[in-house]
Every structure is written in structure tokens, then in C-alpha cells.
Amino acid sequence: MKKRQVIAAFDFDGTITHKDTLFHFIEFYFGKKRLMMGLVRLSPHLLLFELGIVNSHKAKEKLFSFFFRGKSFDDFNSACKDYSAHIDKIVKKRAIEKINWHQSKGHKVVIISPAVSNWITPWAEKTGIDTVIGTEIEVVEGVISGRFATKSCRGQEKVNRLLEAFPNKKTYTLYAYGNSSADKELLTFSDHPTLWKI
């Protein structure tokens, strides 16, 4: 009898890391001063998000576009590879221990996150994780347009995207790890949910 596959799906920002990697990556790419100047310029849009008028996806797309629109996609990906060493500094100990435990059992570890997949993937690969499901960015003729090419991978979209990658839920057991309301649907869908609030 074929052994049932086990999949462990981890959220990234706030679950594996203790920082929001969009802000952390921008600071790495441009420096703290440029990040702060950008946040001041974008403060009206960020206020709309805080007031609940604009959703998280739109607010983050605006922030991403402000900093990266017009940048070379190759240069961006090169920076994402360099950034992986900085992710090591913000990884939660219990998260890496749990990832290692799943890997030691032969489970397939998946990262599923609203964060941009490009800066998660290099870190994931060196950690032995070959599947990253995240927000994809739009690229036109080798240049970043500033728009996101996919829906934000949060809420029900996490379940949808997971099922695209692993369609037949009856064939596997699912562990899920998250830290916020954006993970609620995935946690509910899983067989073994874990919510890490801090």
C-alpha cells in the first residue's frame, strides 16, 4: 500500500520570520533612509489602508510599485538571491526547528505566503524547500511593471493556490502553520493546524 503523502504548509511573514519581508527587502535594497522617505511620500495611501478603505494587497502593490517599477527583473532577482542571507537573521527558531522536523520525517514542506515569491525562493531553496507559492510580479520585456500578476495569496486564495499545486486533498495529510487571520482558511482546511500568534 502506497504511503500517504504529508505536506507541511508554512506562511512566511510573521510565521517563519518575525518581520514583514516587503519592508525588510526594501530596506536591504535601497537602505533605511530611502525606505523612510518613501513611506513619508506614500503616507496618504498607507493611511487609507489603516482606515480599512484600501486592502492589504492594493496597499502593498502601491508600495512595491513606488520602489521597483522600471527596475530590471534580472537585477531584482540577483538582489533577491543576495537577500537570502538577511532572511536568516529574521527567521524564528521554532519555525526552522519545525521545518527541520518535517523534513526529517520525509514530509514535503511548502511556503505559501502573500509575500513576493522572488525573494522567498532563494532562501527556501537553500533550506531544502522546493515549492514556494506567493504573490507573483508582472514583468514586461524584462522590466518590472510595478503591478502584481496574481491575487494576494491570503485567506481563501491560500487554499485555492495550494489546491492548484496539490489538487487531490484525499491523497495527502496537511499540516498548516500561520500567525494571523490571513491564514484562517488554510488552517481550517488543514488536518493539523498550528497558529503562532507571537
Cα separation, 177 vs 115, whole angstroms: 15
Contact assessment for residue 84 and residue 77, using Cβ atoms and an 8 Å cutoff: no
Quote the CATH superfamily of domain 5-195: HAD superfamily/HAD-like (3.40.50.1000)
Instruction: Identify any residues that bridge with 148 across adjacent strands, giving them in sequence order.
Output: 137
pLDDT of residue 106: 96
**pLDDT of 23-50, one tens digit each?**
999 999 999 999 999 888 888 877 776 7
Can you tell me the mean pLDDT for 104-108? 97
Domain boundaries, the chain: 5-195
**pLDDT of 126-161, one tens digit each?**
999 999 999 999 999 999 999 999 998 999 999 999
Which range has the worst mean pLDDT, 46-55, 97-106, 151-160? 46-55
The DSSP bridge pattern shows strands 172-178 and 192-195 to be: parallel
